[in-house]
Amino acid sequence: MKEQTLLTNPQLFQVPSLIPTYGRALQMSPLVGTFHLPQFVHDENDRILVDIRWNCAESILQSQKGSRPLPFCSFEQAGPRERIFWDPGSAVVAVVTCGGLAPGLNNVVQSLVHVLYDRYGLKTILGVPFGFYGFSHDAESKMFRFPWRTLDMPSLQNIDFEAGSILGNGRGHSDPVHIVDALLLRNINILFTIGGDGTLMGAHAIHKEIQKRNVPIAVIGIPKTIDNDILWVSKSFGFESAVAKAAEALRCALTEARGAYHGIGLVKLMGRNSGALTATAAAAVSGVDFVLVPEVQLVLDGPKGFLAHLLRRVMEKGHATIAVAEGAGQNLFPPSEKYYDASGNTKLKDIGRFLEERILQAFLAEKIEVTLKYIDPSYMLRAQTTSADDSVFCSHLGQHAVHAAMAGKTDLMIGYAHEQFTHVPLSAVAMGRKCLDVNSPLWLSVLASTGQAAQWE
């Protein structure tokens, strides 16, 4: 489901936009006296509109005539509050990083601990190893399979210079009953979950189990995906760093293609449901000839199919460079039994190797000599350190997550839109995934740069 469709869908405004809290925040924040007063959010009605376009506002205003008023969709503004709910002297915090790796995980963990430890004065902060798998324990002995580690600033020095996650990552094992049992055994008051849409929906399920038991445990999500496909977040941490590495791979493919007779450089990049990373990386590299994304159905054969366009481009230009997202062209594979990974995602067929074979066959059929170099840097995009801008963004996400938690809020994700950080209900994450808008300036600039067809026929 595309973000643009969601933003203009009246059903969107039925999603609760109020964030649950654990009661009145009565304690004065330790930040008072260290922050300037204007930096605090003084009014919970200070909200950020989801869609700031006039056309959207006008349609909502018109819908109010002769019917029940339809509210503007908006989210709470993120930021520190003057009064907090949790007692810094007794609150216990857990942090978990889930799903696959992404540049910036260590930066977010470091930011969380820095604000909790040095700004709010919390001293009991625990790191959960290997994602939700780290909650595994024996109910009778109360022994955990993997030891949790204590997090403090001295132990986290310079981890922002390291790739990966010091806590380790893992997929699946998101049984909310088992996880809440573990949280109660460890006397946890606040849980920070860092992960993609699957992790965030798992966090919402954990919150609902907490509600059933009527126990005070806050759940705060921080969105993580290099695919940049989480709703309500205009960019996710690690995306910019991944784009830089993807652009580097495309430049290498372009160099290989130019240096060979009828050279073709083929690069497969990450992007299960969204072509945002592939399109952005291609836009950063002048000379890419074709960009294949999941949002545009791929047709190989026929006079207007991709292979015919590729043949003409190579014969006219002498070489060609192709960027393909891993989720593109899945329609080309015969239907078969679906397999899923531990996170519940459908395992994709390898479009890169498939295209490599079909391209070579097409040129052989035309008796045209060709040199094809295939590059798959997928995991290199995830396992790297962050850019300076990504590091700053990670720091802000961690800060706002702590402010929200200490104010007594729960069941929320830190969102980002219109250069504003927001509190997004975790229930809203399940509405769909953000896809590349094929009418956006980004995709139109890719089409202008490559000269490729807007649709394959």
Residues 9-30: tens digit of each pLDDT: 444 444 455 788 888 888 999 9
Question: What pLDDT sits at residue 148?
Answer: 97
Position 241 pLDDT exceeds 90: yes
- The architecture in CATH of the region 3-236+386-429 reads 3-Layer(aba) Sandwich (3.40)
Question: What pLDDT sits at residue 5?
Answer: 38
Share of the chain above pLDDT 90, in %: 71
CB neighbour burial string for 120-138, b if at least 16 within 10 angstroms, e if fewer: bebebbbbbbbbbbbbbbe
Which of 51, 197, 227, 289 is catalytic? The answer is: 227
Share of the chain above pLDDT 70, in %: 89
CB neighbour burial string for 274-312, b if at least 16 within 10 angstroms, e if fewer: bbbbbbbbbbebebbbbbbbbbbebbbeeeebbbbbbbe
Confidence of residue 130 (pLDDT cuts 50, 70, 90): very high
Position 37 pLDDT exceeds 80: no
CA 169 to chain centre: 15
Question: What pLDDT sits at residue 64?
Answer: 56
At residue 194, what is the residue type? I
What is the CATH topology of the domain spanning 239-383+439-450? Rossmann fold (3.40.50)
Question: What pLDDT sits at residue 142?
Answer: 87
Question: What pLDDT sits at residue 6?
Answer: 41
Position 65 pLDDT exceeds 80: no
Question: What pLDDT sits at residue 281?
Answer: 97
Position 137 pLDDT exceeds 70: yes
CA 93, 94, 95 angle in degrees (round to 5)? 125
Question: What pLDDT sits at residue 43?
Answer: 85
Q: Where are the domains of the chain?
A: 3-236+386-429, 239-383+439-450
Question: What pLDDT sits at residue 38?
Answer: 61
Across all residues in the chain, what is the average pLDDT? 89
Question: What pLDDT sits at residue 300?
Answer: 96
User: Is 160 marked active-site?
Assistant: no
Query: In the predicted model, what is the mean pLDDT of residues 124-135?
Result: 96
Lowest mean pLDDT among 55-64, 101-110, 386-395: 55-64
Question: What pLDDT sits at residue 15?
Answer: 47
Question: What pLDDT sits at residue 36?
Answer: 64
Confidence of residue 69 (pLDDT cuts 50, 70, 90): very low
Confidence of residue 59 (pLDDT cuts 50, 70, 90): low
Question: What pLDDT sits at residue 245?
Answer: 95
Q: pTM, whole model, 2 decimals?
A: 0.89
Q: Which residue's structure tokens are 């840097």?
A: 377
Model pLDDT for residues 265-322, shown as the tens digit of each residue:
999 999 999 999 999 999 999 999 999 999 999 999 999 999 999 999 999 999 999 9
Model pLDDT for residues 424-457, shown as the tens digit of each residue:
999 988 888 889 999 999 999 999 999 999 999 8
Query: In the predicted model, what is the mean pLDDT of residues 127-136?
Result: 96
Q: Helix-strand-coil percent breakdown of the chain, rounded to 5?
A: 40, 20, 45
Model pLDDT for residues 184-221, shown as the tens digit of each residue:
999 999 999 999 999 999 999 999 999 999 999 999 99
Query: In the predicted model, what is the mean pLDDT of residues 81-104?
Result: 95
Lowest mean pLDDT among 34-43, 162-171, 388-397: 34-43
How many residues can be counted in the chain? 457
Identify which has the larger pLDDT, 52 or 271. Answer: 271
Q: Do domains 3-236+386-429 and 239-383+439-450 have the same CATH topology?
A: yes
Distance CA 449, CA 41 (A): 44
Dump strand ranges (E) for 92-230.
Answer: 92-97, 124-128, 149-150, 190-195, 218-223
388-406 and 239-258 helices cross at what angle (nearest 10)? 160
